[in-house]
Amino acid sequence: MNFSNLIKIAYQAILRNKMRSLLTMLGIIIGISSVIAMVSLGQSSTQNINGQISQMGTNLIMVMRASQRQGGVNMGNSSSQSLSPKDVEAITSKCRNVEMASPMVSAAGQMVRGANNWPGSMQGGNTDLIKIRKYDIEKGTNFTEKDILEFKKVCLVGQTVVENLFPDGENPIGQEIRFGKIPFKIIGVLAEKGENQMGQDQDDIVIAPYSTVMKRILATQYIHMIYASAISEDACDIAVDEITETLRISHKIKDGDDNDFNVRTQAELLSMLNSVTGFLTILLAAIASISLLVGGIGIMNIMYVTVTERTKEIGLRTAIGARSRDIMAQFLLESSMLSLVGGLIGIVFGLLLSWLITFALDWPFIVSISSVILSFVVCAATGIFFGWYPAKKAANLDPITALRYE
């Protein structure tokens, strides 16, 4: 029996029971579409995170206060007083692979203008902070070194703050807002950036001279962290080593003693987030693939029923000269066709589902060719694996017994 005849027989057998065939393929369809969607969404989320981190600057370096311990108890880093503006001066003067550096202090409070108010935070930095953080000024201007030296009460505001304190569309430049009880004059409005990879609103921000925030709001001589920018992405690791060495000397840390600060780069954050999203993608795809197993069992079950229903037909084909391998090939082909057709439908549904979700989340839509090819191979393997035993049973039927079967 030639292959074309086998395909025709298998096709007719599937069409004779359309609803049963569709229900049999349903497990394969759900499994394949789930795997395709999970892999695609995992890659989309990874690319989305990479894009947002790139907006912050791939050469961004963050220096944070290290955790303090008292009596073996971790007190956290909020009370640590290891960083000061002098550290920023040391970094900018001694680290050749650091392009810019800025101190950063922050304070939470209520912002008020007339009858409007908004809870938020004020960040203090130098004139390079907005460049390091990749902010653009849409209106107005940045504060100056003179403003820093004179502790001027001036600030830059983000779009979220503008929308909530100036709901009537009034130009905020030159207007005065109160942060707590302290008045600040708005000299600039930052361009919109949207949410970051953690879902935080990057436009809900007020930036002022760090000296003003330290003296007039926090009443401290220490800063919370340092933002620095390497001269290039490739120079980040060298810049980190230079910063670490400079701060160890500045803080007079002896050899063998732990640092009282931590240095982190965007590359480390990116690697960590990619590891997490990659693990979650694999986990979700593995869970989704369980339905493939269920679908395969469904195919095996239906093929058992099919063999039983067509026992007399099998006996007749054997009696007129069909070989055991022809019978086996026929039933293997039927199970493979069920699996492959279900897989193709599942691939289409999976791509459609991932497109709809990425469109709703405003993520990039990514088609993983490797996952599509792998899904197709898995479908073929599922049909062959779960169809083999029923096909073997059909091929081993005794023709005399089969012809007598009622």
Q: If DSSP codes are grouped into helix, strand and coil, which group holds residue 265?
A: strand
Same domain, 241 and 310: no
- Who wins on pLDDT, 142 or 39? 142
Same domain, 183 and 329: no
- Give me the mean pLDDT over the 191-207 stretch: 81
- Identity of the highest mean pLDDT range in 2-16, 32-46, 297-311, 351-365: 351-365
Confidence of residue 82 (pLDDT cuts 50, 70, 90): confident
Cα end-to-end span (Å), the chain = 26
Same domain, 228 and 280: no
Per-residue confidence (pLDDT) for residue 78, from 0 to 100: 46
Confidence of residue 33 (pLDDT cuts 50, 70, 90): confident
The enclosing H or E element of 115 equals none
Confidence of residue 60 (pLDDT cuts 50, 70, 90): confident
- Who wins on pLDDT, 276 or 351? 351
Per-residue confidence (pLDDT) for residue 404, from 0 to 100: 55
- Who wins on pLDDT, 281 or 75? 281
Same domain, 390 and 302: yes
Residue 57 located in a structural domain: no
Nearest to 212 by CA among 272, 148, 158, 139: 148
Same domain, 388 and 322: yes
Residue 240 located in a structural domain: yes
Same domain, 110 and 177: yes
Domain termination site, one of 200, 234, 259:
259
Residue 308 located in a structural domain: yes
Residue 264 located in a structural domain: no
Same domain, 34 and 177: no
Same domain, 350 and 308: yes
Confidence of residue 76 (pLDDT cuts 50, 70, 90): very low
Residue 73 located in a structural domain: no
**pLDDT higher than threshold 50 for residue 328:** yes
- Who wins on pLDDT, 132 or 38? 132
Domain termination site, one of 227, 259, 291:
259
Domain termination site, one of 205, 236, 259:
259
Q: Which domain holds residue 162?
A: 83-259
pLDDT of 99-149, one tens digit each? 999 999 999 999 999 889 999 889 999 999 999 888 999 999 999 999 999
Q: If DSSP codes are grouped into helix, strand and coil, which group holds residue 181?
A: coil
Same domain, 243 and 291: no
As a whole number of angstroms, the distance between CA 94 and CA 156 comes to 30
pLDDT of 368-402, one tens digit each? 787 778 777 877 777 777 777 666 766 666 655 54
Residue 97 located in a structural domain: yes
Same domain, 233 and 285: no
The two three-digit tokens of residue 211, written as one number: 């000296």
Per-residue confidence (pLDDT) for residue 72, from 0 to 100: 42
Confidence of residue 56 (pLDDT cuts 50, 70, 90): low
As a whole number of angstroms, the distance between CA 246 and CA 90 comes to 7
Mean of pLDDT over the chain: 81
- Give me the mean pLDDT over the 285-289 stretch: 71
Same domain, 88 and 133: yes
Return the ∠ at Cα 121 (arms to 117 and 122), rounded to 5°.
105
Identity (one letter) of the amino acid at 40?
A: S
Q: What is the pTM of this model?
A: 0.60
Q: How many distinct structural domains can be found in the chain?
A: 2
Residue 203 located in a structural domain: yes
Same domain, 232 and 132: yes
Residue 61 located in a structural domain: no
pLDDT of 202-236, one tens digit each? 899 999 999 999 999 998 999 999 999 988 878 88
